[in-house]
Amino acid sequence: MTVNSDFFEEIKLSSLFDELPFGMFLFDEDDIIIAANKIFCDIFSVSKKEVEGQSLQKHLPENFEKQIPFKEQIHKQLLELKNKNGKIFQTKIQEFNSSVDSKRVFLGTISDKKSVNRLESELLKQIDLKDSLKDKLEEENELSEMKSRFLSIASHEFRTPLAGILSSLNLISRYHDADQETWFRFKNREKVVNHLDKINESVKNLTTILQKFLTLGNIEKGEIPVKPISFDLRKTITAQTAQFQEICKPGQKITYNHDGSKVTVNLDRHLLKGVMNNLFSNAIKFSPDNSKILVTSKISDKEIYITVKDNGIGIPQTEQNKIFRRFFRARNALTYEEGTGLGLSIVRNYVELMNGKIIFESEENRGTTFNITFINKKK
């Protein structure tokens, strides 16, 4: 009988057979070997051509018939086979759920000591690797938690002295406003005002950075509440546009357009303002003087769309997959002193907390467009 290759393909063993760590073979009810894998051939020092289509009884011990009849051994699901060196191998037999020419087919598995040891060794390696990865994951989680606690504590601790500095600056301003005559006689008043303005701006910047750290910590702890309310999207973004227009670089212009008559949305207004603040701030910071920043919004029956487009430095193609990571700053953004690499991470988290999606398109030196989509949950 010849080997039925169609059957071998049918049972999907052609690619798997030789990869198994045991000697395996298939034979029919007439004891003819249908297929054998590489380890079986190695054990019995034969090639596949030499064994497939041949009788299995060639590999039985000489006194086999005097012990237990072949059919009875198969019935007991146990068979002894002998290789050319006289070594006996215990073989487990089970009936296979298929047939060749309407004949029953059986599967034999030989597990010699080398195969078992090899499998055990590989299993131990996998267990060690799993334990190692588990330890590293626990260590990473612990470090992440410690870092979050540190950022939260440090942020809270720094906010108190910063609030004190701002309070003192406010008092100084009130003092010179209350005594204008003496103040205007002061020769270096312009220099003093300049330094006070610098202190005030630096404190505000540091307060903003610390607020981002606090926000990040709250996001990681799942402590950002989401409170959707109905509000006028057009009015909200219009107000933010006017606010950020005041801090634009020379010649920069923010243009906002709302498409359509629908203006009411049901979102967390505080989170949305946080998203827009970060996108406005980045667009201004990374765009040159005399450039345009375009903001659009639209409300359909099913979705809410917001777009912020700038003509700034853009995001390098090779780094675009990292742009929403915490603390990541693209290489072309490193020349800008201000920045923590947290803004876009917070933006994405805020958007996702409101069940929205944010995507972007960017080309280095040609600008970036952020597109945000929310489900329109009508109230």
C-alpha span between 56 and 44 (Å, rounded): 12
Secondary structure (3-state) at 298: strand
pLDDT score, position 327: 79
Average pLDDT, the chain: 80
Range from 114-128, 270-284, 291-305, 333-347 carrying the lowest mean pLDDT: 114-128
C-alpha span between 220 and 212 (Å, rounded): 12
Q: Which of 64, 56, 28 is nearest to 40 (CA)?
A: 56
Do residues 114 and 43 touch, judged by C-beta distance below 8 A?
no
Do residues 373 and 296 touch, judged by C-beta distance below 8 A?
no
Which string of DSSP letters, residue by residue, matches 18-52?
A: GGSSSEEEEEETT-BEEEE-HHHHHHHT--HHHHT
pLDDT score, position 66: 44
Q: Where are the domains of the chain?
A: 5-111, 117-220, 229-375
φ, ψ of residue 61 to 5 degrees: the values are: -65, 155
Whether pLDDT at 261 is above 70: yes
Say what the pTM is. Answer: 0.55
pLDDT score, position 1: 40
* 229-375 homologous superfamily: Histidine kinase-like ATPase, C-terminal domain (3.30.565.10)
C-alpha span between 180 and 189 (Å, rounded): 11
Mean pLDDT of 292-313: 96
Do residues 267 and 228 touch, judged by C-beta distance below 8 A?
yes
C-alpha span between 120 and 52 (Å, rounded): 30
C-alpha span between 378 and 260 (Å, rounded): 16
Q: Which of 235, 311, 308, 304 is nearest to 276 (CA)?
A: 308
Model confidence band, residue 379 (pLDDT cutoffs 50, 70, 90): low
Q: How many C-beta neighbours within 10 Å does residue 164 have?
A: 11
Tens digits of residue pLDDT in 109-128: 886 556 556 656 766 777 77
Helix and strand element counts for the chain (H, E): 11, 12
Whether pLDDT at 293 is above 90: yes
C-alpha span between 316 and 31 (Å, rounded): 67
Tens digits of residue pLDDT in 160-182: 777 777 788 888 877 777 777 77
Q: Which of 47, 56, 39, 42 is nearest to 1 (CA)?
A: 56
Range from 18-22, 251-255, 295-299 carrying the lowest mean pLDDT: 18-22
Ramachandran class of 4: left when φ > 0, alpha when ψ lies in -120 to 50, beta otherwise: beta
| DSSP structural state of residue 249 | P
C-alpha span between 54 and 35 (Å, rounded): 10
C-alpha span between 83 and 60 (Å, rounded): 8
Whether pLDDT at 48 is above 80: yes
pLDDT score, position 157: 63
CATH of 5-111, picked from 3.30.450.40, 3.30.450.20, 3.40.50.300, 3.30.70.2740, is 3.30.450.20
Query: If 0-12 CB within 10 Å is exposed, 13-18 middle and 19+ buried, where does residue 343 land?
Result: buried
Whether pLDDT at 150 is above 70: no
pLDDT score, position 3: 46
Q: Helix, strand, coil shares of the chain as percentages rounded to 5?
A: 50, 20, 30
Whether pLDDT at 70 is above 50: yes
C-alpha span between 265 and 58 (Å, rounded): 82
pLDDT score, position 236: 96
Range from 186-200, 209-223, 308-322, 333-347 carrying the lowest mean pLDDT: 209-223
C-alpha span between 201 and 288 (Å, rounded): 21
**Percent of the chain, pLDDT > 70?**
79
C-alpha span between 306 and 233 (Å, rounded): 10
C-alpha span between 40 and 10 (Å, rounded): 21
